[in-house]
Structure 1
Amino acid sequence: MSTFRSELILEENPTKINKEAKIMSLGSGFSSLMDQNLRQYGLDITSNPFGRIYNPISLFHHIELLGRHAELDATMLTEYEGNWNHFQYDFLRKQSSEEELMENIKAQVQVMQENFKKQEFLMINLGTAYVFRHLESKKVVANCHKAPQELFEKELLTPDKILEAFRHIYPQLNHIKNIIFVLSPVMHTKDTITLNCVSKSVLRVAIHQIVNEFPEVKYFPAYELQISDLRDYRFYERDLLQPNDLAIEYITSKFNEAYFDSKLLEASRKMDDILQSLNNLPYNPQSRDYVFEVNQAISKLKGLDNYLDPRMAIEELEGKLKRD
């Protein structure tokens, strides 16, 4: 029988994620969708402690900062409508003064430096190879923070520049069991569709070079799963740029199959089935049948706690029983 799609078959990762794994995830907005998959099973994941970062140079700068004690660059501060920000960070919280911003960044960096020492897995999610360089400092910025456009110069990175930047930070990653690169399938059409393809190609070549040079670095093909495996606009949101829930479910299930150990994978599938069984149940916290089914689900979830942490799902179900 003919097949109607080119399914991407992934090799299993030799280093497996289990219930006790400590994971740090850095990168673009797509990383938050990947992270939510891990978080729902109660895994210990630190996600984008310095905000969402889309280009590899800024990402590697943050990794370098986590691995060593370095002075923060005060020349990269910027103010817009009374709100202070730093060009190398993407904080959403308003900072009313330079001093407040610098103190908050320093405090966050110190906490994350200690956290970073304990990490076993590092996920690096790349979004674009286009960067904005601050003309005065000559440094690549993570976020322009609505500063005047004439302060920056836009440029396209090369695979060699990205590879060289990774080589520079690699010695600080010797405690990490597994480094996992992900190329975001979200389209950046502000650069036009054609230049988005150029940008993604640069990133993909750079990742390929990094994986070939460093054997403990792996690549999870979220981009190819979306673009070449699913390959249909019905797997996108209405903006036609971002993967929809169905695509995310497919992509993350592929990640779980490749990276979870057998016990965590089996428990995660059981948890999914338990929660799925409640989806067709009419919501009525006053109904005895509803309360019984939810309590049954909670009991089953508690039975999985040797292999994953179901507390988040249990708390959500208990919250449903308490609603009027």
Structure 2
Amino acid sequence: MKFSTVINIPKAPFELQPCEQMLFTGSCFAERIGTRFFEEKFRAMVNPFGVMYNPASVLHTVERVERPVDTLAMTLGTNRVYVEKSSGEIVDNCQKRPQSLFYERELSIDECVEFLSRAVEKALSRNANTKIIVTVSPIRYAKYGYHESQLAKAVLLLAADRLISLFPKIAYYFPAYEIVNDELRDYRFYEADMLHPNAQAVEYIWERLQPALLSEKARQFIQEWKPIKEALAHKPFNPEAEQYKTFMAATRNMAEALQEKYPEMELHLPEQ
């Protein structure tokens, strides 16, 4: 007997390696997933210029991040954009200027594909081996109305599908939207606002993501890093106790040994 609809998640046409240089840009859902990668010692930049909800703003982030990345992850939230009347340019943030200086419009599927394709091409111009992950945020936008929010998601889903077809060997759609709306179809997986997925939902998505995207080496690294991460998160009653100092010295040795095994790992240990 089954009590949920389990989404079939195909493997990506590529594999993520331990400690890869990654850029996550998009809605606040990108921040939740990107932070999870960061916690597992992937060298992840997460929305370095703030949350970007639409494909045009996602492109703007990719253009501004000059450093090449191994993986670009784009999470699409809405197809609605704000345009500055005087310049006709799409802005990422109104910077508290009067609303009268801007007007709002919706991007078409073709426009979304155009902005996202330019983002991919910009990433590839810096690293020809960049891998692309695309997701659609499961977060509904009450501001626009729930039906209107679903229409926006439909545009983004179609645009994401088109983008994958344009870059089939390097681009992959991960069904976070479908997992939340089909597998986790229960308000116990949401924050108090009943819109944002909670920590349990994010952790479930992380578990479902690993077999589809991570290499065996990356998953092995995560298992080796786990006891060190848990030890570093330990909060002692008495930091000056000899027992705790011995515990931290052993943890430091484990961490340094792991860094020797994975030289690309960025290790920031607390002061002794």
Radius of gyration: which is bigger?
A: 1
Provide the secondary structure at the position in 2 that maps to 1:19. Answer: coil
How far 1:285 sits from its partner (Å)? Answer: 3.0
Q: For the residues of structure 2 that align with 1:187 and 1:301, how far apart are their CA atoms?
A: 40
Aligned ranges for residues 48-197 of structure 1 at < 5 Å? 48-63=47-62, 66=63, 109=64, 112-113=65-66, 115=67, 118-174=68-124, 175-197=128-150
Q: 1:187 to 1:298 in 2, by over 3 A?
A: farther
Aligned partner of residue 34 in structure 1, secondary structure: helix
Partners of 1:284 and 1:290 within 8 A in 2:
no
Q: Is the 8 A contact 2:70 2:129 kept in 1?
A: yes
Residue 5 of structure 1 aligns with which residue? 4
Q: List per-residue Cα deviations over 1:77-99 (Å, max 9, x = no partner).
A: xxxxxxxxxxxxxxxxxxxxxxx
Cα distance in 2, alignment partners of residues 198 and 46 from structure 1 = 30
Give distance in 1, aligned partners of 2:181 and 2:80: 20
Secondary structure of 2:73's counterpart equals: strand
TM-score with structure 1 setting the length: 0.71
Structure 2 counterpart of 1:53, one-letter code: M
Moved more, 295-304 or 138-147: 295-304
Runs of at least 5 residues in structure 1 that lack an aligned partner in the other structure: 67-108
CA deviations 1:185-221 (Å, max 9, x no partner) are 2222111222111111111111011112221221111
Tell me if structure 2 keeps the 8 A contact 1:122–1:176. Answer: no
Partner of 1:244: 198
Displacement after TM superposition at 1:48 (Å): 2.2
Distance change in 2, residues 1:295/1:284 (3 Å): farther
Matched residue of 1:160: which SS? helix
- Counterpart of 1:311 (choices 240, 244, 267) is 267
- Cα 1:22–1:149 shift into 2, 3 Å: same
CA contact (8 A) 2:19 2:265 kept: no
Q: Match for 1:34: what amino acid? A: I
Q: Does the CA contact (< 8 Å) of 1:15 and 1:177 recur in 2?
A: no
Aligned partners of 1:159 and 1:206 also within 8 Å? yes
Q: TM-score, length-normalised on structure 2?
A: 0.84
Give 1:261's aligned residue.
215
The share of aligned pairs that are identical, in percent, is 27
C-alpha change, 1:192 and 1:272, in structure 2 (3 Å) is: farther
Let me know the Cα RMSD of the aligned residues.
2.7
Q: Cα distance 1:139–1:168, how it changes in 2: closer, same or farther (>3 A)?
A: same
Aligned length: 265
Aligned partners of 1:148 and 1:9: how far apart in 2? 46
Separation in 1, partners of 2:48, 2:235: 39
Shift of 1:26: 1.6
